[in-house]
Amino acid sequence: MSGKAGLRGRGVLADLVLVVYFLLSLAPVVFIVALSLKSNAEQTSTYLRFTPTLDNYRAVLGIGAGESAYLRFFLASLICAVGAVLVSLVIGVPAAYAAARFRFRGSEGLLFTLLSFRFAPELVVIIPLGVLYQQLGLYDTYVGMIWALQLVTMPLVVWILRSFFQDLPPDLEQAALLDGYSRRQAFVKTVLPLVRPGVAAVCLLAFIFAWNNFILPFTLTSSEAQTVTVSSLAFLGGNQVRFNLVAAGAVMAVLPPLVLALFIQRYLVRGLSFGAVKS
Amino acid sequence: MAALELAGIRKTYGRTVALDEATFDVRDGEFFCLLGPSGAGKTTTLKVAAGLAEPSVGVVRLDGVDVTDVEPTRRDLAMCFESYALYPQHNVFDNLAFPLRSPRRRMPAERTRQRILDITTLLGIDHLLDRPVTQLSNGQRQRVALGRVLVRPASAYLLDEPLSHLDARLRASMRAELKAISGEDGTTTLYVTHDYVEALSLADRIGVLDAGRIRQIGTPREVWSEPADTVVARSFGKPAINLVDGAIAAAGGVLTFVSTDGALRLPVPGLRTSPGVRAQLGIRPRDLGLLRGAGDLPSSLVCFDAAIYVLEHLGRQTEVTVRVGAALLSLVVPREVADGHVLDDKVVVTFDPAAAHVFLPDDGGRRVVR
Amino acid sequence: MSNLVLYGVRKVFRSRRGAPVEAVRRMDLEVRSGELVALLGPSGCGKSTTLRMIAGLEDVTDGDILIGGRSVLGLRPQERNVGVAFENYGLYPPLTVAANLAFGLDARRLGRARERRARIHDVARRIGLLDVLDARPASLSSGQKQRVALGRAIIRAPDVLLLDEPLSRLDAAQRDLTRRELRRLQRELGYTTVLVTHDQEEALSLADRVVVMDEGRVRQVGTPDEVYDDPADVFVAGFVGEPAMNLLPGVLEGGGPVWLSPHVAVPTDIRGAAGDVVLGVRPEDVILVGPDADRSGGVADAVAHVLVVEDLLECTLLTVELPGVERRLVVQTGPGLRAVPGQAVSVAFHRLRTYVFDAKTGERLR
Amino acid sequence: MGTPRWRRRLRPYLLAMPAVLLCVGILYPFFVGVGYTVFNFSDANRTPSFVGVRNFVDILSSDTFWHSAQVTVSFAVVATVVETVVGVGIALLLHRSSLVARILERFLIVPLMVAPIIAAIMWKLILLPEVGWVRPILSAAGVEGYRGTDSALAAFFWSVVVDAWLYTPFVAILALVGLRSLPRSPFEAAAVDGANWWLTFRRLILPMLWPYILVAVIFRFMDCLKVFDIIYGLTAGGPGDATTTLQISAYLEAITYARYSRGMTFMLILWVVVYASSFVLVRYLGRVQSRAAGSV
């Protein structure tokens, strides 16, 4: 367009602003990675120039030292997050489908109750839940964590899957019904294949949120089911703080969500906004 | 094959009434068209017939048996959706095979293949069998959707605007094709369309649907020449029927229609109504003509003065819009009759009183019978 | 009002992947002051691209565009005084109808506030929008939206008015009504107008001249009658007219007749050419000869076999099969014809309105 | 062969049943917790007695509560405003056909995937005068006397910075999707009408983008009201009680000091605030979205 010529100067300025923003945005990540690669001697003495070493990662993972607490936390995070996602999926898919396809009394109530879980301050449930867990023996167990994490994963799964189901015209299932298939077959043969990528994306996103959660494991676990997020903070608490070890732990805690996020870019907006915004 | 009957169907969505007391029957082997504008309730009617929507009130019968509570799977109907409802994960062949492979039918593979080849050849899509449906044009998708209906035997076909997305040439030839198929195969068909030409061409009987209510049911000739009301009258013909507001007066013993501003006065003999009522005069554009020169006027015609408002070419014919007082009337004349006229020319319009309809706006637009 | 000249205008779209696409190929056109020219063609033929180039929304690859004798190539859309009514209206959703109309006046700071109000009122009155001035676009019917789009295009008294498929989103009844009003308005205001449409009926009924386009190429420029009666090639013949022209493959013999099959020969006036051709005849130009259609008096070209009869009350359409001819023939007759499938009818082709096209190039043979 | 109506009516309820049970399972502790607020239940007092509204009276008349409330609301307002303005700005800059924008857009989500507690730890390290980058950068810019988060203002400031670092991309992503979904033709019409960028932005882009911005604002504001991880990780509410938000107060009461009833009362008050604001905001959003819906 001939008009663009006049805006070219402004375009460069805009690009410059963007570059500055992204430098600021990525700098903390660069910093933490750099710190995690520094030796004990260099961690307080240098900023950018140093000899990178993987010693901190070895130390955190307990390589050579026999046993690693960190790996246990990692495993606990994995079990809790995967468990929570699976439970949400099994319970959430039928509910989301029902909410998308049928008008029934209480469907709105159910949806808004779930949404209110998302917005409620966690402690409002955690305080009594903690007391309850102590009584039931669920405190600091995987089962207890998976149950509590439903607060995070369930609203996400139901709301987003509902928006996926709503996007599919009911005509497809209806056509399958008239073509001689039962309701269950119609669902399995027509709907499910179409929402499968969406379901996968929702699972990953729910996993990320479960993994990243801090306050639930912080208050409902102590050692057995303690997760990466909680332990990362605990690293800071000791008397002899080794910042480079803390950094290495943090990098490893961040890595899984960051890698998974690459797979769900397309569905990210819908997930983050609970289906309110679609891309 | 079966007779399909909808009795007293009322369907509401929340506060909106989609269908109001709809009652009609499609006889065994009959081709029945429901004609109406978008939002009239046509698709809802089909879904109720198919069992995909539950009527709030009313009964659906197949061959006299109440099937209102029967699951769609078991009604043995085939439906073509306006949205095509093709399975995007399958190619054309598998879409067409889908109903034949269903647990209800389980047609052997060889027969399935043969049947699909027959139908796709008929519809001119046999070269697309391996194509994913997502890569088809709208016209091709529509033919696949139609094929998925025709491929299997059913008690009745329910077709929702099956030709609407085709281009004009293809639509005309598919319409003729469909007419030939239905003539041979004689499956009971309920066909929904907004295109009056399709209805006139295909239907044994037409039901005119508007705002959830059935206005008239009749053969094409009946709904054309004896429309029950203005809605039905306006549903057929292009350009649409002219409707002029006015009243009925008695002039010299003859009932006369007088337009609101008095500019148009036309005798309408033989009406069963009384002078003084508000009325709408309906004249189809092809029942009007332009008087050329001082030629003699057939005695059956009357004429009135008008001014040209707009001239529009339609191939060999010209649509002339003339102004009479505040009223605008369209008429269609051969091109050479209109040639030479310019805007605001004074012309004389001829008119056959026997072809006029009179409607009563105070009575829901009902037509006055002669 | 100014005239509009397109001189050798080309448009090539280059994408990073794939070959460049030539959307418009060397187009020459003059739209005279006050004239309404319709660009007619199927989607993707380059007509909208042409319109967008005139408006300045698209770069011109080659050639020149002149409005009122002045080249507008270097000018941004903001600097060309054109009015555009977009296909999907392009109304400003947050603004009321009045503000939609006023937007262009505000942007260019045309006139005082009072004059602007008077102008909005005047335009709204003309196109029947007075009742909805305070409404927002979302609450309007498509007919009203269309009129707002039109009003916005004409309110600044543009040098050239550009209408992109102005009626495509209206239902049939509204379309007829709006088409009529549009024609009347354009005549009264006398704007130089370019209208883009894929609907041949719209082009024929509205335009002073029609430009038929296909694949970026201009196929024919002419008055509606010329385009209808005297198509330049097989594309124009098939695209213009409804029901569409019958196009039957055949072989032209030196002496004139076109053999559609070993059993059917249609005489023509063409001399000195021979080879594979396409014979074109409109359904309304096929005459039924015989007891049921005594109005012809012509000599039958062939005896046909009736396949389908469609009684449309305004007219009757027959789909018939000619002996040995694969392609079916559609015949349009007046209302009230009595015929049944299976019946044999004699058909004759109107001598002056039978067209012959070269099968390879599509060119009309005369 | 018919299926009785009641069985068809039951179908959605059967599908939703597990989810309903789950809700009950989560709502049960919530109501138990609401019950705590009228007792004096704590680890020290395992046989609580009924105290009526005394917990509410105590808390609503305590300085701790009003201080936390003030911190919470200030934090929520400042963070939301900063994130919205910067996020929308970045989205506008990214929504251009520029190579730089296309490349940088891929990195937009990076902070967003970092767990908030990890983000807090990262920033804590960055802000540490011994190892972090902030001190050298500031001293390079001529600012001396940097001492991390040990003043009330600095603690608040850096909390907002961390929150903004994490969640500005969230606003930007939503706004970017919004921008990309806007119809093109109104903007072409505006160009033909002769409008400049500012007029187009003010009269068209901003109002048309509003539904998207509002979704972002709602999510950010609600989340900020219950902020915990970031502040706990960064300052643990300090120095003193300078950044003690309501959820941190409640945490201290209920978990650290094990005074369940008092902690629960804190939380219930916060919950009411959150619920009320979400109710208002979501209804407003519904109005905005339905107004934006039919518009072409």
Query: Are residues B81 and B215 both part of a single domain?
Result: yes
Query: Are residues B247 and B362 both part of a single domain?
Result: yes
Average pLDDT over residues D89-113: 89
C-beta of residue C84 within 8 angstroms of C-beta of residue C164: yes
pLDDT bucket at B296, cuts 50 / 70 / 90: low
Q: Test B70 with D1 for CB contact under 8 angstroms.
A: yes
Query: Are residues B167 and B45 both part of a single domain?
Result: yes
B11 to chain D, minimum CA–CA distance in Å?
A: 16
Among residues C179, C185, C184, which one has the least CA distance to residue C165? C179
A29 close contact with D: CB closer than 8 A: yes
- pLDDT at position B361 is 92
Average pLDDT over residues B143-159: 92
What domains are there in chain D, each with its CATH number?
Answer: 70-295 (1.10.3720.10)
Lowest-confidence pick of A241-245, C192-196, D86-90: A241-245
A180 close contact with B: CB closer than 8 A: yes
What does each C-alpha distance from C181 to A51, B311, C175, C205 come to in angstroms? 80, 11, 10, 12
D1 close contact with B: CB closer than 8 A: yes
- B163, B200, B205, B310, best to mutate vs chain C, most C CBs in 10 Å: B310
Q: Which CATH number goes with the domain that contains B283?
A: 2.40.50.140
- How many structural domains is chain B composed of? 2
* For residue A2, pLDDT beyond 90: no
Per the CATH hierarchy, to which homologous superfamily does domain A70-275 belong? MetI-like (1.10.3720.10)
* For residue C293, pLDDT beyond 50: no
Lowest-confidence pick of A60-64, D8-12, D204-208: A60-64
Which tens digit of pLDDT belongs to each residue from C235-288? 999 999 989 999 999 999 887 789 999 888 888 888 878 899 999 999 999 988
Query: Are residues B227 and B350 both part of a single domain?
Result: no
Q: Test A1 with C73 for CB contact under 8 angstroms.
A: no
pLDDT bucket at A7, cuts 50 / 70 / 90: very low
Query: Are residues B221 and B287 both part of a single domain?
Result: no
Q: Phi and psi at residue B338, in whole multiples of 5°?
A: -85, -20
Kindly calculate the radius of gyration of chain D based on its CA atoms and give it in whole angstroms.
Answer: 24
A150 close contact with D: CB closer than 8 A: yes
Average pLDDT over residues D145-149: 79
Domain ranges for chain A, please list them. Answer: 2-61, 70-275
B59 close contact with D: CB closer than 8 A: no
Which chains lie within 8 Å of chain C at 3 or more CB pairs, if any?
A, B, D
Among residues D211, D153, D214, which one has the least CA distance to residue D182? D211
- pLDDT at position A239 is 57
- pLDDT at position D51 is 86
Of chain C residues 70-109, which have a CB less than 8 A from chain A? 73-78
- pLDDT at position C229 is 94
pLDDT averaged over chain D? 88
- pLDDT at position A6 is 37
Q: Test C75 with A2 for CB contact under 8 angstroms.
A: yes
Among residues B57, B68, B49, which one has the least CA distance to residue B17? B57
Report long-range pairs for B261-267 (Cβ below 8 Å, ≥24 apart): B261/B325, B261/B326, B261/B327, B262/B325, B263/B324, B263/B325, B263/B326, B263/B327, B264/B304, B264/B324, B264/B325, B264/B327, B265/B304, B266/B302, B266/B304, B266/B351, B266/B353, B266/B356, B267/B302, B267/B353
Q: Test C136 with D296 for CB contact under 8 angstroms.
A: no
Query: Are residues B164 and B102 both part of a single domain?
Result: yes
- pLDDT at position B66 is 92
Share of chain B above pLDDT 70, in %: 99
Counting Cα atoms < 13 Å in the Cβ hemisphere of D174 gives: 30
The shortest CB-CB distance from A123 to any of D110, D111, D267 is to D267
- pLDDT at position B339 is 86
Of chain A residues 5-64, which have a CB less than 8 A from chain C? 6
D294 close contact with C: CB closer than 8 A: yes
Q: Test A268 with D109 for CB contact under 8 angstroms.
A: yes
SS3 of A83, please?
helix
Pairwise CA distance, residues B52 & B45, whole Å: 10
pLDDT bucket at A38, cuts 50 / 70 / 90: confident
Query: How many Cβ contacts (< 8 angstroms) between chains B and D?
Result: 13
Average pLDDT over residues D160-172: 96
CATH class of this structure's domain C248-365: mainly beta
Kindly calculate the radius of gyration of chain C based on its CA atoms and give it in whole angstroms.
Answer: 24
Domain ranges for chain C, please list them. Answer: 4-239, 248-365
Query: Are residues B223 and B266 both part of a single domain?
Result: no
Which tens digit of pLDDT belongs to each residue from B214-253? 999 999 999 999 999 999 999 999 899 999 999 998 877 7
Average pLDDT over residues D200-214: 92
User: Edge to edge, what strands does the sheet with B4-13 contain?
Assistant: B16-26, B4-13, B57-62, B65-66
* For residue D295, pLDDT beyond 80: no
Query: Are residues B187 and B108 both part of a single domain?
Result: yes
* For residue C295, pLDDT beyond 50: no
- pLDDT at position B358 is 93
Q: Cα–chain-centroid distance for residue B203?
A: 9
Classify B143 in phi/psi space as left (phi over 0), alpha (psi -120 to 50) or beta: alpha
What residues make up the domain containing B307?
242-369
C341 close contact with B: CB closer than 8 A: yes
SS3 of D17, please?
helix
Pairing outcome for strands C246-252 and C70-71: unpaired
Pairwise CA distance, residues D291 & D285, whole Å: 10
Which of the given ranges, C318-332, D48-62, D128-142, has the highest pLDDT on average? Answer: C318-332
Chain A environment of C73 (Cβ under 8 Å): 2
Angle between helices B168-185 and B109-123 (to 10 degrees): 130
C-beta of residue A145 within 8 angstroms of C-beta of residue A217: yes
* For residue A8, pLDDT beyond 60: no
What does each C-alpha distance from D138 to C327, D129, D142, D145, D150 come to in angstroms? 84, 11, 6, 9, 16
Which ipTM score applies to this complex?
A: 0.84
Topology classification of domain C4-239:
Rossmann fold (3.40.50)
B344 close contact with D: CB closer than 8 A: no
What does each C-alpha distance from C274 to C90, C248, C251, C258, C288 come to in angstroms? 52, 16, 7, 9, 28
Query: Are residues B125 and B258 both part of a single domain?
Result: no
C198 to chain D, minimum CA–CA distance in Å?
A: 19
Chain A environment of C57 (Cβ under 8 Å): 1
pLDDT bucket at A1, cuts 50 / 70 / 90: very low
**pTM of the predicted model, to two decimals?**
0.86
Which tens digit of pLDDT belongs to each residue from B299-334? 778 889 999 999 998 889 999 999 999 999 999 999
C-beta of residue C126 within 8 angstroms of C-beta of residue C118: no
pLDDT averaged over chain C? 90
B179 close contact with C: CB closer than 8 A: yes
- pLDDT at position D293 is 63
B40 to chain C, minimum CA–CA distance in Å?
A: 14
- pLDDT at position B38 is 86
Is omega for the bond preceding C137 within 30 degrees of 0, making it cis? no
- pLDDT at position A102 is 85
* For residue D294, pLDDT beyond 60: no
C342 to chain B, minimum CA–CA distance in Å?
A: 11
Q: Cα–chain-centroid distance for residue B78?
A: 21
Share of chain A above pLDDT 70, in %: 91
Q: Phi and psi at residue A126, in whole multiples of 5°?
A: -65, -40
Assigned token pair, D178: 């919004």
Q: Test B73 with A178 for CB contact under 8 angstroms.
A: yes
Share of chain D above pLDDT 70, in %: 98
- Maximum CA pair distance of chain C? 77
Query: Are residues B138 and B205 both part of a single domain?
Result: yes
